[in-house]
Structure 1
Amino acid sequence: MKRICLLLICISLIGCKTTKTAVAATTPETPKSIPSDSFVDAFYEGRNDFKTVAIKASAKYVDEHQDQSVTADVRIKKDEIIFLSIRFLGITMAKAIITPQEVRYYEKINETFFEGDYATLSKWLGTDLDFQRVQNLLLGEPIENLKGKKVKQTSDGTSIRIDDTSDKQIPKAYTFDASNLKKSEVKQPAENRNLEVNYPAYATQQGRNFPAQILIEALHPKGKTNIRINYNSATFNEELSYPYSVPDGYERVFIE
């Protein structure tokens, strides 16, 4: 449970909707034409313009050691807090709070808790992460904001690829259809680490495009981790609480 808690903290779950109803996936759009130099600005225009969002979701985690499915409640105050509550068989087994400064979680099986910065998460996932990068990943946006970046843009007529060339040590590439991000790739060849995030389906509600499913594959020297996330329902712009308190008697852990 400790391993899945930590990974689901940083690859948490997000969906965007204005009413609390089931999320319906739509068929990916095949673009009739691909914008040129203005594509990046057009992509960001009006996207994810919410203040808070609450989500109910399910996730499946697979690595060399385990195969586990959980459900989760996620509450986000944009750019400030990501709150995550993980349940197994209907019982809350872990909670987490992510802020721009730190990550905190506790889990009930071993009665332990963790407090730390993003260095640990970066090591586990195979790419440098901070709050903004995690939030972008969850929202179906490029891991790093592409505005003002030095990029290379190509198209095959049905999709557009943007290579972030600002850091040659860590190549990043993003594939889009006419309006949505379909895949993010981050490579760290010197450290034998790769992160690939696919968005195979989107849903649209009142003009909002958001992922209906996220497929994540992280390759690292110790093996491979896969996470599949599905959104079940979401609610926008309501007043949210973020209840988090480590129970008495829990032991602090340090993850290497």
Structure 2
Amino acid sequence: MRRNILNSLLFLVLIFLTMACKTKKKIVVAPPVTNAAPVDTKKVETLKLLEEKDISYTTLSLKGKARLDINGNANNVNMNIRIRKDEGIWVSIGGPVGIELGRALITPDSIKVLNKWQSVYLAKPFSYVHRFTNPQVSYKLLQAILSGNTFPEFMSQDADLAYKNGVWEITGKQAQLVYLLLFNTLFKVSEYQLNDLNAAKALKVVYGDYQNMNGTLFPTAIRINSMAGTQKIALNIDFSKVESNLPVDFPFNVPGKYEVIN
């Protein structure tokens, strides 16, 4: 029972995978699609244009509320997310009354989960996440999705680039992972679709409107639907606070009384 609850918490941390932020700043809405033909540019130039719309940061600090539905069991939770680019992702998950339920720390090499509700702890190599996701899912892919950025390995010359219905889309395949990136008229990623048909694993991430953050556009809403075997997750996030390029720490202490889950 404890293992199931811990795995659900871990899966939550992995599948929040991207986020939304909602502040008092003015919302930037993508212009409607028109029938105008795209600018006649080379593939490499278009890929560069799309990548240039990514946000640039060293750290992110995000706070907000989320509605999580795991296999039909829905709960409202609070999330506090901190990211040091290419170093680590720290997550704190709390209940509606402010009680912290657990923490997670994900690095390129490892993942640690502290379940305060049941006093249990898990420490595994990063490859442990592949129990719930495709083996091609890396730390940097999680980081890209969380920041609403493109993923460099999907933006290669080997990918298929097409202009359809007034917007750009990129499709490709890495081993068993089939991916689709849709862009809006702001040239920002509007949707990620990742599918591993052989393993019955799929993830769909849809970004909402945007806000201007230090001259770049950051998503204000996210809708996530994930499936891994028989486990299905729907996650809606609205963030109340977003800060970038400020010092962040990753507090993660394991009390001696906690049981280690193997």
SS of equivalent to 2:100:
strand
Alignment of 1:47 with 2:51, yes or no, is no
SS of equivalent to 2:50:
helix
How far, CA to CA, are the matches of 1:22 and 1:5 in structure 2? 30
Deviations 1:7-26 (A, max 9, x none): 23223555689xxx546543
Partner of 2:168: 160
- Residue 250 of structure 1 deviates from its aligned partner by 0.4
Deviations 1:176-209 (A, max 9, x none): 0131111111111112222111112222223211
Preserved CA contact (<8 Å) 2:163 2:169? yes
Alignment of 1:175 with 2:177, yes or no, is no
Match for residue 126 of structure 2 among 114, 118, 123 = 118
Q: Which moved more, 1:171-180 or 1:154-163?
A: 154-163
- Residue 31 of structure 1 deviates from its aligned partner by 5.4
Partner of 2:99: 91
Preserved CA contact (<8 Å) 1:23 1:231? no
Partner of 1:132: 140
Alignment of 1:59 with 2:66, yes or no, is yes
Alignment of 1:9 with 2:13, yes or no, is yes
Q: Evaluate the alpha carbon distance shift between residue 123 and residue 138 of structure 1 in structure 2; reply closer, same or farther with a 3 A threshold.
A: same
Alignment of 1:240 with 2:240, yes or no, is no
Give the TM-score normalised by structure 2.
0.85
How far, CA to CA, are the matches of 2:221 and 2:108 in structure 1? 25
Q: Evaluate the alpha carbon distance shift between residue 84 and residue 168 of structure 1 in structure 2; reply closer, same or farther with a 3 A threshold.
A: closer
Q: Which moved more, 1:74-83 or 1:38-47?
A: 38-47
Partner of 2:75: 68
Deviations 1:22-75 (A, max 9, x none): 465432333566454222211222622111121112111112252111111111
How far, CA to CA, are the matches of 1:13 and 1:247 in structure 2? 30
Q: Evaluate the alpha carbon distance shift between residue 182 and residue 57 of structure 1 in structure 2; reply closer, same or farther with a 3 A threshold.
A: same
Q: Evaluate the alpha carbon distance shift between residue 42 and residue 105 of structure 1 in structure 2; reply closer, same or farther with a 3 A threshold.
A: same
Preserved CA contact (<8 Å) 2:21 2:221? no
Q: In the TM superposition, what are the counterparts of 1:174-213 in structure 2 within 5 Å?
A: 174-178=181-185, 179-213=187-221
Preserved CA contact (<8 Å) 1:15 1:234? no
Percent identity of paired positions between Structure 1 and Structure 2: 19
Query: Which residues of structure 1 form unaligned runs of 5+?
Result: none
How far, CA to CA, are the matches of 1:13 and 1:163 in structure 2? 20
Deviations 1:97-142 (A, max 9, x none): 1111101110111100111123332222456422111101101124
How many residue pairs get aligned? The number is 250
Q: Evaluate the alpha carbon distance shift between residue 216 and residue 228 of structure 1 in structure 2; reply closer, same or farther with a 3 A threshold.
A: same
Structure 2 counterpart of 1:28, one-letter code: A
SS of equivalent to 1:190:
coil
Give the TM-score normalised by structure 1.
0.87
Structure 2 counterpart of 1:197, one-letter code: V
Q: What is the RMSD of the two structures over their aligned residues, measured on CA atoms?
A: 2.4
- Residue 158 of structure 1 deviates from its aligned partner by 2.1
- Residue 84 of structure 1 deviates from its aligned partner by 1.0
Partner of 1:27: 29
Q: Evaluate the alpha carbon distance shift between residue 119 and residue 180 of structure 1 in structure 2; reply closer, same or farther with a 3 A threshold.
A: same
Q: Which moved more, 1:206-215 or 1:145-154?
A: 145-154
Query: Which residues of structure 2 form unaligned runs of 5+?
Result: none
